[in-house]
A = this chain, B = another copy of it.
Amino acid sequence: MESRCENCIVRQFNALRAMNKEELKQVSDSKTYKTIKKGESLFEEGEKLDGIYCVRNGVSKLSKLSANGKDQIVKLATKGEVIGQRSVIAEEHTNLSATAVNDMEVCFIPKETIANTMHKNPNFTLEVLRHMAHDLKEADDVIVNMSQKTVKQRVAEAFLYLKNNFGEDSDGFLLLTLSREDISNVVGTATESCIRIISEFKKKGYLKTSGKKIGVADEKGLQNLVNGF
């Protein structure tokens, strides 16, 4: 399953696209390939990271344990995204835990390789900066949603997000299946409340289910709910 970064499609989605051939070669030579099984963790909150992870396949949840014992999922990272860069750049311990939501394939790139390129290639650093600027905007938007929208609106928004970012199969069911608990932890609510709202949405025709799978049945309806109608 190993391959050369130069030919990696995934790279097109992240800051590594700004690297030149020589730099990519260095990454290719120093990287290690890993598989992580569903439920296993890439790293835990507070750990010191020696490099960053580039996701080739699968999805990871980035979460933080709060004082009341609940995990808050802050972000879901999928194919093409890089995990751990914030901590490596700031030279701090990680602020979040990363856990595989399904089976994953990732490349681990040692921090020295990254630091090396950042000192030599301003374009790469700038590209990393742009990606982080984007992450920051998203985080700010999440803050506003968390504090100003009702749980019902946030659940609706979560399903629209899952549909638009992870897609659906030919029958209209979400490709990324999260447990009810994970959905609650994205939304920031009690699992029971989340389940109740999903049931309600099903009754109202906004969602459909088939076994464990959930699908968006009425995107407009959900969108109206999010917008407060």
Contacts and interface: CB of A to CB of B under 8 A. Distances in A.
Per assembly, the copies of the chain total 2
A9 interface: no
Contact of A144 (B72, B130, B132): B72
A135 B72 CA distance: 18
Contact of A148 (B120, B122, B136, B188): B188
Nearest to A119: B122
Contacts of A74: 140, 143-144
A77 interface: no
Given A132-B129, A137-B95, A144 B64 contact: yes
A86 B135 CA distance: 10
B66 A148 contact: yes
Contact of A125 (B125, B135, B142, B146): B125
Interface bracket on A: 35 or more
Contact of A132 (B66, B67, B132, B228): B132
B125 A89 contact: no
Contacts of A130: 89-90
Say whether chain A's binding surface is mostly helix, strand, loop, or mixed.
helix
A66 B144 contact: yes
Contact of A147 (B121, B134, B188, B227): B188
A68 B228 CA distance: 8
A95 B140 contact: yes
A201 to B, nearest CB: 19
A149 interface: yes
Interface of A: 64, 66-68, 70, 72, 74, 86, 89-90, 92, 95-96, 118-122, 125-126, 128-130, 132-137, 139-149, 187-189, 227-228
13 contacts: A70-B148, A74-B143, A86-B133, A89-B129, A89-B133, A119-B122, A119-B126, A121-B122, A122-B125, A125-B129, A129-B129, A132-B132, A143-B146
